[in-house]
Amino acid sequence: MSILVVTGTGTGVGKTVVTAALAALAAARGASVAVVKPAQTGVVGGEPADLADIARLAGVTDTHEYARYPDPLSPAAAARISGLPALSLHDAAADIRKLADSRRLVLVEGAGGLLVRFDEDGATLADLARELSAPVLVVADPALGTLNHTALTLESMALRGVELAGVVLGSWPAAPDEPDLAMRCNIRDLETLAARPLAGAVPAGAGALDAPEFLLAARAALSPALGGVFDPAAFRTRYAR
């Protein structure tokens, strides 16, 4: 069994698409995969949300959502505003462990960034990862400003004793677009911050692909350690400045 937590350097950096890519590659290898979204915000009732996107892209339907709030806020704030109970990350961890007992891989997608609050006591995704003894994959925006956000995320993980699984660029410009100078320069700096090569670069727009095309894109976008064939040295040679 294996548990991998996916977080981002902020909101909208591509966590869901990266989680779907991980799920698609694992499922294509024949592994049993469950995907957990502990708290979903900004949706109501039976509206499709992140797990529906993952199921569509990866073909994985073993999905689990523990709390849902209508306002697009942090889970703690959304629970407070709605009057609904906040999610217990301790209970979530217990359920995730049960899932991991009978699955080869459990993917846990966070909400927002690593230190977004889930309850009024300040529990965060970092706390959940530490309780699960699970490594965390960080999804970063490749654009200007990402270095500070990524450095803060990685330093917070180190201070809290959370293991880094790697850094993936969540929305790399797809052909015929070209990355700008800041994106090109950020490659080497991100690798320096992480003290390791990039673990992948997912093309912008991948979330709009159909499932077979998405699987091909996922394989090209993620490193062998994550089930793909992404070559960070070749990527660096092609793009880095």
Q: Which residues are designated catalytic?
A: 37
* Token representation of residue 13: 């950096």
What is the CB-side half-sphere exposure of residue 213 using CA atoms within 13 A? 7
Beta bridge partners of 69: 41
Peptide bond into 176 cis (omega under 30): yes
Give the span between the Cα atoms of 51 and 87, in whole angstroms.
17
Q: Which of 159, 146, 150 is nearest to 195 (CA)?
A: 150
Helix (H) or strand (E) holding 193: helix 181-194
Residue carrying the six token digits 């991991």: 100
The backbone torsions φ and ψ at residue 101, rounded to the nearest 5 degrees and listed phi first, read -65, -25
What one-character DSSP code corresponds to residue 199? Answer: -
Distance, CA of 186 to CA of 241 (rounded, Å): 8
Helix (H, G, I), strand (E, B) or coil at 228: coil
| 3 state SS of 36 | strand
Compute and round to an integer the Cα radius of gyration of the chain. Answer: 17
